Amino acid sequence: MYQPPHFREDRLDIQHALIRAHPLGLLVTVGTTGLVANPIPFTLDESASPQGTLRAHLSRANPQWRDVDPAQEALVVFQGTETYITPSWYESKRQHGKVVPTWNYAIVQARGPMRIIEDPAWLLTQVTRLTATHEAARPEPWTVGDAPPDFLTAQMKGIVGVEIEIARIEGKWKVSQNRPEADRRGVAAGLRESATDDDRQMAALVEAQGAPASPPPTKWD
């Protein structure tokens, strides 16, 4: 991933927080047919390995799990908050007009060897954890145990597990750090006036991230 120094986010706890907040990862693997990519929801076990371990499941009907080159790392891309940034929000536009649009985003890319797991107990534990995580906020959470046992057994036969011990992880928070302070204030103010949650979340990131110690020259990036 292209990583200008002022956009890097190397803090593991911040990277992990984005994965938890945006768990639908794009799983990218290499096999005999070339590159294959599928979006699937992951859980993250921070304590299972130094940089964390990702777990998920794929449908048995999905050919991706059968065609994975074990010599190649899998890549999982977690896309966080993202939004278009208009140069109309920049104070620089009023001063000299030498500004262009851009796109702000936060993203994490994790790489590591992918292991396929067919153990029924592992699969049941995984889907139980995944479901419990996303049902927790509901007034009456649905649980895996609510499904009839024979139906659940049949469903488990239709999936395989995926486990990736993260060997490399990168975070990139492109949130206007390369703009002068007045431009960043304008971006945050403009985003806060938006009706969309993503824009308001991006406003908070722009305000929280601030400027790098040595601001880079502003440019179209």
Mean pLDDT of the region 84-104: 94
pLDDT, mean over the chain: 94
Give residue for tokens 């979006």.
Answer: 39
How far apart are alpha carbons 172 and 135 in whole angstroms?
Answer: 29
Give the pLDDT band of residue 220 (cuts 50, 70, 90).
low
Q: What pTM value is reported for the model? A: 0.92
Mean pLDDT of the region 5-17: 96
Q: At what angle do helices 181-192 and 197-209 cross, to 10 degrees?
A: 160
Does residue 109 contact residue 169 with C-beta atoms inside 8 Å?
yes
Using DSSP, state whether 170 is helix, strand or coil.
strand
| Residue 210 confidence (pLDDT) | 75
Q: Which two tokens stand for residue 127?
A: 């889907």
H-helix or E-strand spanning residue 190: helix 181-192
Mean pLDDT of the region 80-101: 94
Give the pLDDT band of residue 70 (cuts 50, 70, 90).
confident
* 143 to 56, 123, 128, 178: CA distances (angstroms): 17, 15, 7, 46
Where are the domains positioned within the chain?
5-86+101-179+200-208
Residues paired with 43 in a beta bridge: 55
Give the pLDDT band of residue 15 (cuts 50, 70, 90).
very high
Is the confidence at residue 152, as pLDDT, over 70? yes
Assign domain 5-86+101-179+200-208 one CATH number from 3.40.50.1000, 2.40.50.140, 2.30.110.10, 3.30.70.1710.
2.30.110.10
Mean pLDDT of the region 161-170: 98
Report the residue count for the chain. 221
How far apart are alpha carbons 196 and 53 in whole angstroms?
Answer: 32
How far apart are alpha carbons 177 and 56 in whole angstroms?
Answer: 34
How far apart are alpha carbons 3 and 10 in whole angstroms?
Answer: 11
Does residue 107 contact residue 172 with C-beta atoms inside 8 Å?
yes
| Residue 209 confidence (pLDDT) | 87
